[in-house]
Amino acid sequence: MPALLLLLPVGAARSDEGGVSFWLPGQYASFAAIAPAPGFSLPMQSYYYSGDAGAEKALTRGDLLTFGLDTDFFAQFVVPTYTPDTKFLGARPSFSMAFYPGWNRTSADIGIGPLDISRTDSVTGFGDLYPTAQLFWDRGVHNWMAYLTGDVPVGTYDPDRLSNLGIGHAAIDAGGAYTYLNTETGWEFSATVGVTYNFENPDTGQTSGIDSHLDIGLSRSLSERFFLGLVGYAYVQVTPDEGQPAALGDFESRTFAVGPQVGYTFDVGGRSIYTNLRGYFEFAVQNRTKGGSVFLTVDVPLGAAS
């Protein structure tokens, strides 16, 4: 770790490798515990985030100490999914592998002794891989889902850069979801909870703390194809990072957000295509950038057309 980090005043915070976590807050929303139809499908999710940390906030990116970090990030997630027409433990299993091409632009003042050097960096490439296994149960209006996912750190990453697409280390995340779906009244509510365990980043020698997260979605169907609603998330780091200099403190990161959502299902060539657009506005943020994000989800079934 560079000696410049020793100049950071006691009390400044580092968490989740400078506020960058494995879990993408808001990635689940409404209908989280509804099983996909049997067969192959191709969910795709366009994601954009923009935020900043404020001039007085010290965060690190890899081996760089930054102040006033400002970032824009875009990713096009592609998630090939297979759902076998069978049951396991009374549940419908489903398996997927997510990957994405993306772009990240970051600017900040880099702390070097008594001087700050303004720097801007951008990168285009591919992110990490995210294998996921899920089990879905249903009983009337009640639906449950359990999942296990993780990070395979093969994405574009350099600890000496401000901008990255991979996180530089492996991670494993487990959790579950509940969905209340009443097709007679049109009301739906979903909540997804999970916990992330992070492995050591071999390039920095640091290990992010354990993270907890909650994604929620509330919607009302106005027709068989169209719904409106609200979304939100809570993300809280519950244990501090390990391996960082003592001067950086042991504060954990957190963020909360709320926003609107809209969904519509349309037919193309005999296939029903589900779409969802939602946005989040962050508040009560600590030791991360603060801003907003937009998700556009398109789910395409790849089985035989009906």
Nearest CA among 25, 129, 112, 119 for reference residue 69 = 119
Residues 38-51, mean pLDDT to the nearest whole number = 94
Q: What count of residues does the chain have?
A: 306
Percent of the chain topping pLDDT 70: 82
Within 8 A by CB and 6+ apart from 140, the residues are none
Q: Residue 45 in 3-state DSSP? A: strand
Q: Residue 281 in 3-state DSSP? A: strand
Query: Would you kindly state where each structural domain of the chain is located, as residue ranges?
Result: 3-301
Residues 190-207, mean pLDDT to the nearest whole number = 90
pLDDT in tens, 227-267: 999 999 999 998 877 765 554 555 678 899 999 999 999 88
**What's the CATH code, domain 3-301?**
2.40.160.40
Residues 121-126, mean pLDDT to the nearest whole number = 91
Q: Is residue 188 predicted with pLDDT exceeding 60?
A: yes
- Could you tell me the pLDDT band of residue 10, with boundaries at 50, 70 and 90? very low
Nearest CA among 147, 178, 129, 161 for reference residue 22 = 129
> Distance (Å, rounded) from C-alpha 49 to C-alpha 91?
35
Please give the sequence-ordered ranges of beta strands (E in DSSP) within the chain, or none if there are none.
Answer: 39-52, 58-61, 64-78, 81-83, 92-98, 101-112, 115-126, 130-139, 142-151, 171-181, 187-198, 211-221, 226-237, 254-268, 271-286, 290-301
- CB count in 10 Å sphere of residue 269: 6
Nearest CA among 150, 37, 128, 139 for reference residue 85 = 37
Are 208 and 239 in contact by the 8 Å Cβ rule? The answer is no
Are 16 and 209 in contact by the 8 Å Cβ rule? The answer is yes
- CB count in 10 Å sphere of residue 56: 8
Residues 84-102, mean pLDDT to the nearest whole number = 95
- Model pLDDT, residue 241: 75
Least confident window among 92-101, 151-160, 295-304? 295-304
> Distance (Å, rounded) from C-alpha 259 to C-alpha 232?
6
pLDDT in tens, 202-235: 887 788 889 999 999 999 999 989 999 999 999 9
**Higher pLDDT pick, 12 / 117:** 117
Query: Please, what is the end-to-end C-alpha distance for the chain in angstroms?
Result: 59
pLDDT in tens, 270-288: 788 999 999 999 999 888 8
- Model pLDDT, residue 9: 29
Show the tokens assigned to 270: 């005999």
> Distance (Å, rounded) from C-alpha 119 to C-alpha 106?
8
Mean pLDDT of the chain: 84
Show the tokens assigned to 4: 């410049």
Are 291 and 256 in contact by the 8 Å Cβ rule? The answer is no
Q: Judge if pTM exceeds 0.95.
A: no
- Could you tell me the pLDDT band of residue 4, with boundaries at 50, 70 and 90? very low
Within 8 A by CB and 6+ apart from 243, the residues are 200, 204, 205, 206, 207
Beta strands 64-78; 58-61: pairing state: antiparallel
* Highest mean pLDDT: which range of 10-24, 64-78, 107-121, 281-295: 281-295
Instruction: Round the CA-based radius of gyration of the chain to a whole number and report it.
Output: 20
- Model pLDDT, residue 59: 63
> What is the DSSP code (8-state) at residue 63?
T
> Distance (Å, rounded) from C-alpha 294 to C-alpha 184?
30
Beta-carbon-side half-sphere exposure of residue 243 (alpha carbons within 13 Å): 17
Q: Is residue 16 predicted with pLDDT exceeding 50?
A: no
Nearest CA among 264, 274, 262 for reference residue 301 = 274
